[in-house]
Homo-oligomer: A and B are copies of this chain.
Amino acid sequence: MSQVKTLALVTGGSRGFGVAICEQLAKKVENIDFSLYARSQQGLESTEKLIKQIKPSANVNLFVADFGDIASLQSVWSQSLKKVNFSEYQRVWLFNNHGSLGPITNVSEYVFNSFLIFIDMDQDHLSNFKEIESEITLNVTSVFVTSSLFLKEIKSVSTPIETSVINTSSLAAIQPFDTWGIYCVGKAAREMLLSVITAECKDTPNIKTLNWSPGAMGTDMNKEILVKTKDEGSKQFWEDMIKNNKLVDPNFSAGKMIDLLISNTYTSAAHIDVADA
């Protein structure tokens, strides 16, 4: 596979699992270029630096993108795809890795009555459902934008490219957890989107999808969980995970995922957990 030239598009590429994906790609894939997307230019530059240290030959393009703003995302994403000559590549992977945790609270407690806010100042209740709408946009609608425009480009190239649309998923996509409503719904929605894409690619088997459940990792999101979780049992669970060193290393999880993508042995639209890979 040494002549294969690979392009990786990584969203949420400035932090956490996104950085680990980039690090592992740079280490495991010989001839590879990158398009990285995140809100923070500084974060993106830091990831670029890490990639270049491992693989100086990689072309790395950075795009500041807000996945919660659909009009702006559509514009940035379209322009970023136009900068790529897809026919240069034999293998293209889109990592839909961006996402947010959302409020960690019961569905019945998303918005409190105004008088209760004063009683309950330490809780981070939302002021209104426009914030829930933004979370859904960021976690679900944005993945329609990236996947749709990406697939349109891939299908327009005359030679079939070995393509995968990868979703950073979670056990929460297939199992409900109380107080994790937005997160569970977002992940379930993303998995169904990939299943539909796979159904639509029955005549183009070079295009596959993969839902990667990376495990409970030690990332910034994990710290956010600890701050947001109100339930004492859950808090204890996560604190024990840290204390007993049971959190999955993001680089270990990303490495397993890249191995699977390179081997190309997964069934399209599969949900695969790091524990089973």
A contact patch SS: helix
Contact with B along A164-188 (1 / 0, CB 8 A): 0000000000001111111011101
**A240 contacts chain B at the CB level, 8 A cutoff:** no
Binds B, one of A24-32, A137-145, A221-229: A137-145
Contact: A178 with B199, CB < 8 Å?
yes
Collect the chain B residues with CB atoms within 8 Å of residue A109's CB.
148, 152
Binds B, one of A3-11, A49-57, A124-132: A124-132
Contact with B along A4-45 (1 / 0, CB 8 A): 000000000000000000000000000000000000000000
A71 to B182 alpha-carbon distance, docked (Å): 18
Contact: B196 with A148, CB < 8 Å?
no
With A108-B197, A184-B192, A188-B192 already in contact, 12 other A-B pairs whose C-beta atoms are closer than 8 Å: A71-B128, A71-B130, A107-B147, A108-B200, A111-B149, A136-B144, A144-B181, A144-B182, A178-B199, A180-B196, A185-B193, A186-B189
Please report A residues at the B interface, Cβ cutoff 8 Å.
70-71, 73-74, 106-111, 128-130, 132-133, 136-137, 140-141, 144-145, 147-149, 151-152, 154-155, 176-182, 184-186, 188-189, 191-193, 195-200, 202, 269
Please give the count of copies of this chain that the complex contains: 2
28 contacts between A and B (CB under 8 A): A70-B129, A70-B130, A71-B128, A71-B129, A74-B129, A107-B151, A107-B196, A108-B148, A108-B151, A108-B152, A108-B155, A108-B197, A110-B144, A129-B141, A136-B137, A136-B140, A144-B181, A176-B196, A176-B269, A178-B199, A181-B196, A181-B197, A184-B193, A184-B196, A185-B189, A185-B196, A188-B188, A188-B189
